[in-house]
């Protein structure tokens, strides 16, 4: 996708002498004492979890002496259960995030802006039934989903002008069943609506090759009015084509100081997404929302979005998200015949006819 951030929320961040700055995504050396500090923090979190304490977030700047003292008290009390859990996760390379997510299933656990956030799972939003045991990771890097040892997912890609000229017959021969095609975008600085220069050729080529298509629009709407304008723009440009898959509202973080959506509240962003989706639905298409874990959890009010299909960007071999999704974008480094260079790979859990 255009302007995408690092979607790899699923990766576990190993605590050796290197850490990843979550804003710049650059690796930096950590200062001394990190091993004791992180271990004591995990002990503290686990002790609280087992004692029924709620932790809304942990800041890395917490006083190290207090953390070590806490660890000492727990060790003295003989809390071997806590230590055993930490040891198991660390020895098996599962990482801190995996441990926290398993310990707090009632929350969505994300790391952003130098803190862990624990967001409550909305009761009124349909939940997913994805079982990680049924995810089949193929040797070529692709993922498929199984039920009763049979593949029930559908192989897909998403493309824009950045994929250049595409040989859609070769794409189809490589087993691609659907393609999400960028129809356009709103400039994050100018606010102008722009048609992707390859969109119409891609729609024609994919459809001719027998590939089902959907479209997505990269939004920078700052009002309900602009969201409706974007939806009308999309429908005007796809009316000649058979659109089987969803028409998607692509909402993302843009790492640019001139981004026009900067400062919008979660409620404002949510109402903008709803306005786009309702307009698309009124036009006879299936609306959907595209976002990654952090954007869904921190920037949108999921309790208001239960009725809409969801396209989820999450780059990991295992799945993490409590809500029902319809399409999973699992990597940006895929390879498909007929396309030069990398392409985003997806699987659909829903049969769109």
Q: What is the pLDDT along the chain (353 residues), one digit of tens a residue?
A: 644 433 233 333 233 333 333 332 333 333 344 444 455 556 555 555 555 444 444 444 444 454 455 555 545 554 677 777 778 888 887 788 888 898 899 999 999 889 999 999 999 999 999 999 999 999 999 999 999 999 999 999 999 999 999 999 999 999 999 999 999 999 988 899 999 999 999 999 999 999 999 999 999 999 999 999 999 999 999 999 999 999 999 998 877 767 888 889 999 999 999 999 999 999 999 999 999 999 999 999 999 999 999 999 999 989 999 999 999 999 999 999 999 999 999 999 999 98
Cβ contact 142:343 at 8 Å:
no
Cβ contact 249:290 at 8 Å:
yes
Dihedral sign (CA 102, 104, 107, 111): negative
Domain identity same for 200 and 260: yes
Q: Is residue 74 part of a domain?
A: yes
Give the three-class secondary structure for 47: helix
Instruction: Quote the domain boundaries for residue 180.
Output: 132-348
Domain identity same for 36 and 161: no
The pLDDT assigned to 28 comes to 37
Domain boundary residue among 77, 96, 120? 120
Q: Which residues pair with 227 in a beta bridge?
A: none
Q: Which residues pair with 158 in a beta bridge?
A: 180, 344
Domain identity same for 244 and 112: no
Domain identity same for 172 and 251: yes
Beta-strand relationship, 309-313 and 327-334: parallel
Domain identity same for 161 and 201: yes
pTM metric for this prediction: 0.80
- Cα 127–Cα 130–Cα 134 angle in degrees, nearest 5: 170
Q: Is residue 127 part of a domain?
A: no
Taking the C-alpha atoms of residue 262 and residue 6, their distance in angstroms, rounded to an integer, is: 18
Q: Helix 80-91 to helix 95-103 angle, to the nearest 10 degrees? A: 130
Domain identity same for 94 and 139: no
Domain boundary residue among 89, 120, 151? 120
Q: Is residue 19 part of a domain?
A: no
Domain identity same for 293 and 323: yes
Q: Could you report how far apart the first and last alpha carbons of the chain are, in Å? A: 24
Q: Is residue 204 part of a domain?
A: yes
Domain identity same for 203 and 146: yes
Cβ contact 249:273 at 8 Å:
yes
Q: Is residue 353 part of a domain?
A: no
The number of domains in the chain is: 2
Domain boundary residue among 120, 140, 167? 120
Cβ contact 103:112 at 8 Å:
no
Domain identity same for 112 and 175: no
CATH code of 166's domain = 3.20.20.80
Taking the C-alpha atoms of residue 326 and residue 196, their distance in angstroms, rounded to an integer, is: 24
Domain identity same for 38 and 116: yes
């Amino acid at each position: 996708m255009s302007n995408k951030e690092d979607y790899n929320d699923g990766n576990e961040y190993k605590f050796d002498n290197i850490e990843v700055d979550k804003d710049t995504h650059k690796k930096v050396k950590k200062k001394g004492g990190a091993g004791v500090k992180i271990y004591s923090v995990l002990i503290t979190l686990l002790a609280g979890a087992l004692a029924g304490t709620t932790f809304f977030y942990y800041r890395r700047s917490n006083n190290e002496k207090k953390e070590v003292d806490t660890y000492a008290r727990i060790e003295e009390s003989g809390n071997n259960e806590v230590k055993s859990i930490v040891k198991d996760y660390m020895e098996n390379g599962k990482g801190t995030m995996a441990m926290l997510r398993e310990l707090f299933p009632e929350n969505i656990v994300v790391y952003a802006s130098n803190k862990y956030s624990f967001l409550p799972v909305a009761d009124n939003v349909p939940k997913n039934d994805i079982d990680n045991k049924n995810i089949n990771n193929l040797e070529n890097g692709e993922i498929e989903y199984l039920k009763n040892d049979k593949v029930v997912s559908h192989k897909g890609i998403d493309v824009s002008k950045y994929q250049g000229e595409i040989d859609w017959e070769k794409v189809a021969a490589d087993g691609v069943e659907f393609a999400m095609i960028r129809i356009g975008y709103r400039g994050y600085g100018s606010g102008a609506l722009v048609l992707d220069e390859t969109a119409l050729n891609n729609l024609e080529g994919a459809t001719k090759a027998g590939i089902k298509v959907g479209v997505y629009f990269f939004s920078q709407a700052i009002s309900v009015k602009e969201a409706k304008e974007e939806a009308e723009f999309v429908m005007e440009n796809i009316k000649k084509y058979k659109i089987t898959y969803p028409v998607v509202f692509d909402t993302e973080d843009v790492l640019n100081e001139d981004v026009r959506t900067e400062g919008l509240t979660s409620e404002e962003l949510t109402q903008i997404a709803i306005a786009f989706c309702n307009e698309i639905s009124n036009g006879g298409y299936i609306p959907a929302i595209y976002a990654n874990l952090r954007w869904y959890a921190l920037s949108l009010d999921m309790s208001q979005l239960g009725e809409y299909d969801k396209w989820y960007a999450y780059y990991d071999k295992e799945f993490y998200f409590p809500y029902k999704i319809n399409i999973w974008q699992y990597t940006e480094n895929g390879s498909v015949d007929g396309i030069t260079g990398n392409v985003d790979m997806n699987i659909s859990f829903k049969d769109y006819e």
